Structure 1
Amino acid sequence: MDQTTAPGPPGPRRPRAPGAARGAGSGDTAGAGSGLPRTVRIGYGLGSLATGTFGTVPGLILLYYLTDVLAVPAVVAGAAVFVPKAWDVVINPLVGAAADRSRAQGGSRRPFLLAGALTLPPLFALLFVAPPWHGVGAAAYVAVFFLLAATAYAVFQVPYVTMPAEMTEDPVERGRVLGWRVGFLGVAILLSGALAPALAHAGGDTPAGYRTMGVVVAVLLAAGMLGAWRATRHAPVAARGETEASLRAQLAAVRDDGAFAALAGMWTIQALAVGVMLAGVQYFATYTLGSPSAVTPLFACMIAPLALVMPLWNRLARTHGAAHAQRCASWLFTGAAVLLSGTPYTHVAVGYTAVALVGVAYAGLQLLPLTMLAQTLSADASRTGRRRAATFTGLWTAAETLAMALGPALFALVLAVTGFRSSGAGEEVAQPPVARAGITAGTSLLPALLSLVALRLLRRYRRESEAGAAVPGTGPDALRARRRRPCTETERN
Structure 2
Amino acid sequence: MDKQLSWREKCSYGIADMGFNFYWTNIATFLLIFYTDVFGISAAAAASMMFTIKIINAFTDPMIGAVADRTRTRWGKFRPYLVWVPLPLACAAFLTYTTPSLSDDGKIVWAYGTYLAMMVCYTCINIPYNALSGVLSADPQERSTVNGLRFIFAFAGGTLVTAATPSLVHWLGGGDDKQGWQLTMLAWSVLASLLFVLTFLNTRERIAPPAAQQTKVWQDIRDLSQNRPWVALFFLALIIMITITLRTSSAAYYFKYVVQRPDLMAGFVPAYMMAAAGGAALTPLMTRYVDKKKLMMILMSITAVLSSAFFFVPRDQIWLMFTLQIGMGLALGPKSPLAFSMYADTADYNEWRTGRRATAMTFAAATFSQKLGTAIAVAVIGWLFTRLGYVANAAQSEGSQAGIVWLMSFIPAAFALLAVAIMFLYNLDNDKLTQIQSELEARKKERRD
Q: Same fold (TM over 0.5)?
A: yes
Aligned residue in 2 for 1:101:
70
Secondary structure (helix, strand or coil) at the match of 1:420 reads: coil
Secondary structure (helix, strand or coil) at the match of 2:80 reads: helix
2:209–2:356 contact (8 Å) kept in structure 1: no
- Please tell me the residue identity of whatever aligns with 2:414: L
Query: 1:360 deviation in Å?
Result: 0.9
- Normalising by structure 2, report the TM-score: 0.90
Query: 1:67 deviation in Å?
Result: 1.4
Aligned residue in 2 for 1:435:
400
Give the direction of change, closer, same or farther, for the CA distance of 1:139–1:457 in structure 2 (3 Å limit).
Answer: same
Residue 159 (structure 1) aligned with residue 128 (structure 2): yes
Residue 445 (structure 1) aligned with residue 441 (structure 2): no
Which of 317, 326, 341 does residue 371 from structure 1 map onto?
341
- Please tell me the residue identity of whatever aligns with 2:266: T
Aligned residue in 1 for 2:94:
125
Query: 1:140 deviation in Å?
Result: 2.4
**Distance (Å, rounded) in 1 between the aligned partners of 2:219 and 2:413:** 35
Query: 1:169 deviation in Å?
Result: 1.6
Give the direction of change, closer, same or farther, for the CA distance of 1:156–1:392 in structure 2 (3 Å limit).
Answer: same
**Structure-to-structure mapping, 1:16-415, within 5 angstroms:** 31=1, 33-103=2-72, 108-133=77-102, 135-200=104-169, 206-232=177-203, 235-240=204-209, 244-246=215-217, 248-344=218-314, 347-415=317-385
Give the direction of change, closer, same or farther, for the CA distance of 1:330–1:243 in structure 2 (3 Å limit).
Answer: farther
**Distance (Å, rounded) in 2 between the aligned partners of 1:107 and 1:127:** 31
Give the direction of change, closer, same or farther, for the CA distance of 1:243–1:201 in structure 2 (3 Å limit).
Answer: farther
**Distance (Å, rounded) in 2 between the aligned partners of 1:220 and 1:421:** 35
**Distance (Å, rounded) in 2 between the aligned partners of 1:266 and 1:243:** 30
**Distance (Å, rounded) in 2 between the aligned partners of 1:251 and 1:236:** 23
- Please tell me the residue identity of whatever aligns with 1:399: S
C-alpha deviations, 1:164-186, integer Å up to 9, x for none? Answer: 22222222333332233122112
Aligned residue in 2 for 1:8:
none
2:23–2:189 contact (8 Å) kept in structure 1: no
- Please tell me the residue identity of whatever aligns with 1:418: L
With 278-287 and 107-116 compared, the bigger mean Cα shift is at: 107-116
With 286-295 and 166-175 compared, the bigger mean Cα shift is at: 166-175
Secondary structure (helix, strand or coil) at the match of 1:341 reads: helix
Give the direction of change, closer, same or farther, for the CA distance of 1:338–1:198 in structure 2 (3 Å limit).
Answer: farther
**Distance (Å, rounded) in 2 between the aligned partners of 1:181 and 1:306:** 12
**Distance (Å, rounded) in 1 between the aligned partners of 2:224 and 2:176:** 44
1:309–1:360 contact (8 Å) kept in structure 2: yes
**Distance (Å, rounded) in 2 between the aligned partners of 1:269 and 1:348:** 28
What 5-or-longer segments of structure 2 have no aligned partner? Answer: 443-449
1:271–1:403 contact (8 Å) kept in structure 2: yes
**Distance (Å, rounded) in 2 between the aligned partners of 1:71 and 1:127:** 14
Give the direction of change, closer, same or farther, for the CA distance of 1:40–1:70 in structure 2 (3 Å limit).
Answer: same
- Please tell me the residue identity of whatever aligns with 2:260: G
- Please tell me the residue identity of whatever aligns with 2:410: L
Larger helix proportion of the pair: 2
Query: 1:312 deviation in Å?
Result: 3.0
Query: 1:435 deviation in Å?
Result: 0.8
Give the direction of change, closer, same or farther, for the CA distance of 1:369–1:390 in structure 2 (3 Å limit).
Answer: same
1:62–1:81 contact (8 Å) kept in structure 2: no
Query: 1:102 deviation in Å?
Result: 1.5
C-alpha deviations, 1:133-192, integer Å up to 9, x for none? Answer: 464432321221110011111110111111122222222333332233122112111112
Give the direction of change, closer, same or farther, for the CA distance of 1:344–1:135 in structure 2 (3 Å limit).
Answer: farther
1:282–1:292 contact (8 Å) kept in structure 2: yes
**Distance (Å, rounded) in 1 between the aligned partners of 2:425 and 2:175:** 48
Residue 489 (structure 1) aligned with residue 448 (structure 2): no
Give the direction of change, closer, same or farther, for the CA distance of 1:446–1:210 in structure 2 (3 Å limit).
Answer: same
1:69–1:207 contact (8 Å) kept in structure 2: yes
Give the direction of change, closer, same or farther, for the CA distance of 1:166–1:260 in structure 2 (3 Å limit).
Answer: same
Aligned residue in 2 for 1:9:
none
Query: 1:95 deviation in Å?
Result: 0.8
Q: CA RMSD in A?
A: 2.6
Secondary structure (helix, strand or coil) at the match of 1:166 reads: coil
Secondary structure (helix, strand or coil) at the match of 1:191 reads: helix
**Distance (Å, rounded) in 1 between the aligned partners of 2:290 and 2:73:** 36
2:70–2:77 contact (8 Å) kept in structure 1: no
- Please tell me the residue identity of whatever aligns with 2:438: E
- Normalising by structure 1, report the TM-score: 0.82
Query: 1:245 deviation in Å?
Result: 1.8
What 5-or-longer segments of structure 1 have no aligned partner? Answer: 1-30, 423-427
1:277–1:443 contact (8 Å) kept in structure 2: yes
Query: 1:114 deviation in Å?
Result: 1.9
Aligned residue in 2 for 1:16:
none
With 259-268 and 213-222 compared, the bigger mean Cα shift is at: 213-222
Alignment size in residue pairs: 438
Aligned residue in 1 for 2:446:
none
Which of 465, 481, 489 does residue 428 from structure 2 map onto?
465
**Distance (Å, rounded) in 1 between the aligned partners of 2:156 and 2:415:** 26
**Distance (Å, rounded) in 2 between the aligned partners of 1:278 and 1:165:** 28
2:273–2:329 contact (8 Å) kept in structure 1: yes
- Please tell me the residue identity of whatever aligns with 1:489: S
Give the direction of change, closer, same or farther, for the CA distance of 1:390–1:316 in structure 2 (3 Å limit).
Answer: same
Secondary structure (helix, strand or coil) at the match of 2:216 reads: coil
1:70–1:135 contact (8 Å) kept in structure 2: no
**Distance (Å, rounded) in 1 between the aligned partners of 2:206 and 2:284:** 25
Give the direction of change, closer, same or farther, for the CA distance of 1:254–1:373 in structure 2 (3 Å limit).
Answer: same
